[in-house]
Amino acid sequence: MIHQAYAVVNFKSRGGMMRNPLKQIDTKEVELPETIFIHDIESKVFQSIVLQSLSHIEGVETLEGNLFDTLLGDSLDGIKGIHVDQDQKTHSVNVRIEINIAYGVSIPDKSAEIQNEILQAISRLTNLHVGKVHIVFKNLISAKSKSDRDAILEKKDELALR
């Protein structure tokens, strides 16, 4: 379908001002600017995606401790150990995660599990390419400290139900 616009052109002749009959102008000659759709994703969103992904994985904790407490926190600005870099030109995301791992857990296996989980979640939710998922294991979680944290969580749950 061709859209046409019409314009009236005035020109002078010997007898004075004359009106030229409508002159056709093809709108293909007139270029309209393209509509640009833009969306930005803040680093907090990526941090939340990483935290949600880590909450499904046994044997790891963020540097701040319990994932449950971090997820319920008011602000994600202070999450230690989750760093996100976005590259606008390549539409990709690089993630660096510093975590603690439970004693006795295979670090290479757990690293692959974490990287795959985060890669799939970010790709699925943002439609962006994940360029790198860098895992840094900072410390070991002893079995005693984990059982102490679990007991505290159970008490919090009991108090919340009352």
How many angstroms separate the CA atoms of 121 and 52, rounded?
9
Residue 30 confidence (pLDDT) above 80: no
Please provide the average confidence, as pLDDT, over all residues in the chain. 76
User: Residue holding tokens 């602000």?
Assistant: 75
Residues 57 and 110 sit within 8 Å (Cβ to Cβ):
yes
Q: Residue 28 half-sphere exposure, CB side, CA atoms within 13 Å?
A: 3
pLDDT digits (tens, 9 = 90+) for 62-80: 887 555 445 555 444 557 8
Q: Is 13 or 143 the better-scoring residue by pLDDT?
A: 143
Q: What is the pLDDT of residue 153?
A: 60
The pLDDT assigned to 4 comes to 43
Q: What are phi and psi of 4, to 5 degrees?
A: -125, 145
CA distance 99 to 113: 13
Cα–Cα distance for residue pair 140/98, rounded to 1 Å:
12
Instruction: Return the domain boundaries, the chain.
Output: 43-161
- Give the pairing of strands 129-141 and 92-102: parallel
Contact 84, 93 (CB under 8 A): yes
Looking at CATH, the fold of the domain delimited by 43-161 is given as: Alpha-Beta Plaits (3.30.70)
